[in-house]
Structure 1
Amino acid sequence: MRSLIGLASCLIPLAVAAPQKRTLAPTVEIEYATVVGSSLAGIDSFKGVPYAQPPTGSLRLKPPQPITSSLGTVIATSEPQACPQMYTSLDTSSLSETAITLLTERQFVQDITVSGEDCLTVNVQRPSSATSSSLLPVVFWIFGGGFEFGSTQTYDASEFISTSVSQGKDVIYVSVNYRLGGFGFLGGSEVKADGSSNLGLLDQRLGLEWVADNFAKFGGDPTKVTIWGESAGSISVFDQMALYGGNITYKGKPLFRGGIMDSGSLTPADPVDCPKAQAIYDTVVSVAGCSTASDILACLRTVDYTTFLRATQSVPAIFDYESIALSYLPRPDRVVLVDSPEVIAENGAFASVPFIVGDQEDEGTLFSLSQSNLSTTADVVDYLNTVFFVDATEEQACLPEAPNARISLVRLKGRSDHATQHTAKGILGDLTFTLTRRVFLNISAQSHPSVPSWSYLASYDYGTAVLGTFHASDILTAYGITPGVPSSTIQAYYISFINTLDPNNGTSDLFPTWPEWAEEKQLLNFQTLINELITDDFRSESYDLISTNAAAFHV
């Protein structure tokens, strides 16, 4: 299976044949280590640089701790270890052969080679011309994977950086590994009382603090950081804007100045000690063999890695029947995440930084591959009420106008060429991504009216069997791996935003100009051969139901 990690193999250059000349590997001195990277085709790469102490032993299920002692020389030239992964639970009976084939063919299940607990590292990539005095704008990437899988292993920004250099807008890139599944997002009252909830978000935050402390040495400007994420990473971008009541300062300065959210923003959630989170915690404890321990958390921290990993995998995962009714996700704990994200947004308690937010046209198709038994509207409503939204009424769970598969452009323009049905794929896409995005944009425009925002809808994979322009199909496009109009325009807008906080600044040769969303509530529609502006008013009845009943749609 093709993987982004194979696109730019990196080796430490050896001495060249000419006498008295030597090509040296790029080396950076940071506070606690000498970091040795590699260089290829004008891009320096530093892979697997530790930014925190290993979260093992007594530090398992604890907030990340900064590195306080010297690590000596770090050879950062090979793929780092990924954090423990979870694609499906130990019971994979609900995942059909068709679903497995589609996930494999579309490269959604990432080719992650090695994983383990000692995984809190960052990858850094920069133009080889960068020096400690370059002060280049920084993009901080947070990968997606439903808070259950993913890794920096599968992302190579060489093409993105090369494009920035060719446009005279050099950027420096960093991606962060953070704890996933039960290692990073275990809930329960005991976890809350221990102050050990939302650990994956805290890992990301420590990674941002690491950038503030060390990135000037790599050639980056810590005052010009844009955080960028996809899916769970995109949700994490908003969460980083919302952590600690919107406080993004570190040593008196903001950790970032802008955000890019690809497929994800607000994810309304019940508290970290809610009944669902507690039930998952109790299951993990039981499978780990810690139910009778006098100190259950201490027991979970001392069981061997394999035992704890299997315990965390004993509950439903993202590609199981429960789909994106996730077992593990950020939940309010009153300290790190002070409330459910939509409440935080409504209160304006998030960082007022410019942002881009958008979606794929068929966000829900990928997450409906394991519910083949849902054949009627009544089936879907029952599924949503019993699996997703236990507090929603039957009327609330039966969203109107949910599309069968895709939001057709002809429907967006007011025609009805494509019939709509109450299907899981449409409803899940609207609730989790597409229409919740509009809810966030409206709230932001009201609470932070002076802060600019831009929004988009991607439609360039129209016609793809079963999936359409599906969730995560934008990754290869945004990273410049899939050539064409969508890739070149998205990269140009993003690189301009990272440099200037305005996607239009320096992109005068692109059409159309991307208007701020609050002006006329227009989306930039990325298509296969041409882009155009469309009005963000489709499925207004569904939108009204979601925006007025957010409390009923907590996961």
Structure 2
Amino acid sequence: MLTNRSALILLAAWALSALASPIKPLVVQDSIYHLATNDICLDTESDPSQELVAAQVFLDDGVVVGFQEGAADKFLGIPFAEPPTGQRRLRGPEPIPPYEGLLYAQKFGKSCPQQELVFPKVDSQLLLDIGSVVGRLYEKLTPDDEDCLTINVVRPSGTKPGSKLPVVVWIFGGGFELGGTSTYDGGVIVSRSIELGEPCIFVSMNYRPKLSNLLAFGFLPGREVKEAKIGNLGLQDQRLALKWIQTYISEFGGDPSKVTIWGESAGAISVSLHMLTNKGNQEGLFRGAIMQSGGPIPVGDIENGQQYYDFMVERTGCRNHNDTLECLRKVPYSTFKHAMDESPNFFAYQGLVLAWLPRVDGVFLTEPPQHAVLRGHVSNVPMITGNCDDEGSLFSISTKNISTSADMKDYLKLYMMPKAKDAEIDLLMKYYPDDQRAGSPFDTGLKNALSPQFKRTAALQGDFVFHGPRRFFLKQRASKQNSWGFIWKRVKSTPFLGTAHATDLVNSIIAPGELMDYVIHFTSNLNPNGKKGLGIPWPQWNPRDPKAIVLQDSTLFPVVIGNDNYRSDPLDYVANMSLVYPI
């Protein structure tokens, strides 16, 4: 059982994980490139214990110089698109011209500019400590800059062109508001893949969240954005990166026909939306998909977020301009950044009804995601999708002033379902009763009641945004494409939070664990059951008898096969409400 301090460390690891250490002095051996820059030291008299050997790849008419670290070659911070600055702000990403000359790729590119991370004020010292640690680490480990559209490739050391290794592409989370690739070191995945005898290549890319590259929003909603056809720029960035992989990954030793896309939270939602765009035609960009805590999110038209566009126009002084969109492109960054930080983030009172979500823009998304699923507009590729048990707890901390059922109903009507009828909300509240034993953190009885309605709110939020879409996706698609489900139930003893959102990252991408092995097996074989590993067969998800693997707090049985039919009626009702009343 975890101590409070262990839980604190784990939650800090969730947000920012343990990252690659600063680049060490590099010795270029057997290479003509004996050069020095501000970013790299080529001092052959350095301490040999601190020296790393260069690795290089030829792209077009250029040479990309990375470095070897342990069992991996790392190529970090490679530009894959033109910087979306100046006249390129608030426009779709443009492919970068062919590479020429030398490109040193020894450190992560900076993250796209993002919103200030503000943790809610609470009475719990533990939660305050978690917020403080996460905030400090986040600021330190995700520096931002306007020139941020870069990609990273990590491969087994010495891999040559023509090796045709499978490729796993990581899309980071962060609520479409913040995040960057520097928080995840693909060397751990690559090293573990070698140990399993299934070597693979790890790729990650930066993309524009809510705000990036000064004024270039990634997910700005509004009528003006829709008319200009510039919605969902962050998803367009990701798509361009996937096309870059098709063009160049073979030079790193990867097989462009064996690409799996993988993400967590906003990254998992992104994965699902890549499966739905273009009426499900993935254009050969990937052959498999892995989603941790995210699926076809219940969103509607981009104009549903008009209030957030108007908020930014008002706060930046653009309200009286004839062309408010052009004004936003030119407003001073300091003014805009201040306005951005005043807008709601995912720790705000409205919780997971996020301001800066992907929405139907008529270009990347031409229909609500869940409607696309019903119409069969889905990439027919094998997939894994899973959730943490207590997805909503972390995002419900700020709602502790909801103390009665009447308050709960008002909250639902104001934020989650403003267009729903009273009778529909009353029925929803019956599915999620005013009983702390039924709330989240689940299966903890009367414990963890941060406020009278906290556990109820946490259950509702987690089911609307995470559990509901996952179950809906599986029920609609598992009979048509190979699908596997998982439920993460570890660290359940964490006070107030339980098995919180993103706690599974420690097991899947930060450090070797069962989920990491499953990811590697799936990337190599399109099946999480590898030749080596746990010895527990993971059954495919079957709508008639839904089974999933459950990763739980148990020394004897850490991984078991369990029924995936929890909260069946409430989740069906949530799915139906989402279809009728998307965000």
Give your verdict on TM over 0.5.
yes
Mean Cα deviation higher: 218-227 or 32-41: 32-41
- Would the alpha carbon gap of residues 307 and 209 (structure 1) be closer, same or farther in structure 2, given more than 3 Å must change? same
Shift of 1:540: 2.0
Match for residue 413 of structure 1?
none
Q: Contact 2:301–2:368 (CA<8 Å) still a contact in 1?
A: yes
Match for residue 261 of structure 1?
291
1: CA distance between counterparts of 2:374 and 2:501?
Answer: 27
Match for residue 64 of structure 2?
35
What is the correspondence of 1:35-434 to structure 2 with a 5 Å cutoff? 35-68=64-97, 70=99, 72-88=101-117, 95-96=121-122, 98=124, 99-105=127-133, 110=138, 111-182=140-211, 183-249=217-283, 254-274=284-304, 277-393=305-421, 394-398=425-429, 400-401=431-432, 403-408=438-443, 423-434=456-467
Task: Summarize deviations over 1:180-211 as a string: whole Å, max 9, x none.
Answer: 11410001111111110000000000010010
2:569 maps to a residue whose letter is: E
2: CA distance between counterparts of 1:308 and 1:71?
Answer: 35
2: CA distance between counterparts of 1:269 and 1:345?
Answer: 13
- Would the alpha carbon gap of residues 310 and 442 (structure 1) be closer, same or farther in structure 2, given more than 3 Å must change? same
1: CA distance between counterparts of 2:308 and 2:471?
Answer: 31
Q: Contact 1:36–1:77 (CA<8 Å) still a contact in 2?
A: yes
1: CA distance between counterparts of 2:134 and 2:426?
Answer: 35
User: Is 1:490 matched with 2:523?
Assistant: no
The percent identity for this pair of structures is 36
2:513 maps to a residue whose letter is: S
For the residue of structure 2 that corresponds to 1:140, the secondary structure is strand
- Would the alpha carbon gap of residues 328 and 33 (structure 1) be closer, same or farther in structure 2, given more than 3 Å must change? farther
Q: Contact 1:10–1:39 (CA<8 Å) still a contact in 2?
A: no
2: CA distance between counterparts of 1:522 and 1:70?
Answer: 48
Shift of 1:426: 0.8
Shift of 1:499: 0.2
Mean Cα deviation higher: 38-47 or 401-410: 401-410
Shift of 1:136: 0.7
What is the correspondence of 1:521-532 to structure 2 with a 5 Å cutoff? 521-528=546-553, 529=555, 530-532=558-560
Match for residue 498 of structure 2?
468
Mean Cα deviation higher: 522-531 or 136-145: 522-531
- The correspondence for 1:503, drawn from 496, 505, 528, is 528
Match for residue 563 of structure 2?
535
Q: Contact 1:364–1:427 (CA<8 Å) still a contact in 2?
A: yes
1: CA distance between counterparts of 2:430 and 2:509?
Answer: 35
Shift of 1:112: 3.1
- Would the alpha carbon gap of residues 470 and 135 (structure 1) be closer, same or farther in structure 2, given more than 3 Å must change? same
Unaligned regions of 5+ residues in structure 1, if any? 411-418, 482-486
Task: Summarize deviations over 1:320-339 as a string: whole Å, max 9, x none.
Answer: 11111111010012221011
Q: Contact 2:18–2:510 (CA<8 Å) still a contact in 1?
A: no
Q: Contact 1:8–1:158 (CA<8 Å) still a contact in 2?
A: no
Unaligned regions of 5+ residues in structure 2, if any? 1-11, 30-43, 212-216, 446-451
Q: Contact 1:381–1:397 (CA<8 Å) still a contact in 2?
A: no
Task: Summarize deviations over 1:423-468 as a string: whole Å, max 9, x none.
Answer: 11111111111232111100113xxx34100001011112111111
2:563 maps to a residue whose letter is: T
- Would the alpha carbon gap of residues 155 and 62 (structure 1) be closer, same or farther in structure 2, given more than 3 Å must change? same
- The correspondence for 2:508, drawn from 457, 473, 478, is 478
1: CA distance between counterparts of 2:498 and 2:61?
Answer: 47
With the length of structure 1 as denominator, give the TM-score of the two structures: 0.89
Shift of 1:226: 0.3
Match for residue 416 of structure 1?
none
2: CA distance between counterparts of 1:10 and 1:36?
Answer: 13
Shift of 1:96: 3.6
For the residue of structure 2 that corresponds to 1:328, the secondary structure is coil
Q: Contact 1:88–1:320 (CA<8 Å) still a contact in 2?
A: no
1: CA distance between counterparts of 2:76 and 2:237?
Answer: 17
Shift of 1:114: 1.6
Shift of 1:501: 0.3
Match for residue 475 of structure 2?
442
1:382 maps to a residue whose letter is: D
Q: Contact 1:398–1:422 (CA<8 Å) still a contact in 2?
A: no
The count of aligned residue pairs is 528
- Would the alpha carbon gap of residues 202 and 511 (structure 1) be closer, same or farther in structure 2, given more than 3 Å must change? same
Q: Contact 2:467–2:571 (CA<8 Å) still a contact in 1?
A: no
Q: Contact 2:20–2:182 (CA<8 Å) still a contact in 1?
A: no
2: CA distance between counterparts of 1:312 and 1:475?
Answer: 28
1: CA distance between counterparts of 2:460 and 2:23?
Answer: 43
1: CA distance between counterparts of 2:453 and 2:568?
Answer: 14
Shift of 1:301: 1.3
1:116 maps to a residue whose letter is: D
Match for residue 37 of structure 2?
none
Shift of 1:167: 0.9
Q: Contact 1:454–1:515 (CA<8 Å) still a contact in 2?
A: yes
2: CA distance between counterparts of 1:232 and 1:6?
Answer: 20
- Would the alpha carbon gap of residues 100 and 109 (structure 1) be closer, same or farther in structure 2, given more than 3 Å must change? farther
Q: Contact 1:385–1:397 (CA<8 Å) still a contact in 2?
A: no
Match for residue 458 of structure 1?
488
What CA RMSD, in Å, does the superposition of the two structures yield over aligned residues? 2.6
Shift of 1:409: 9.6
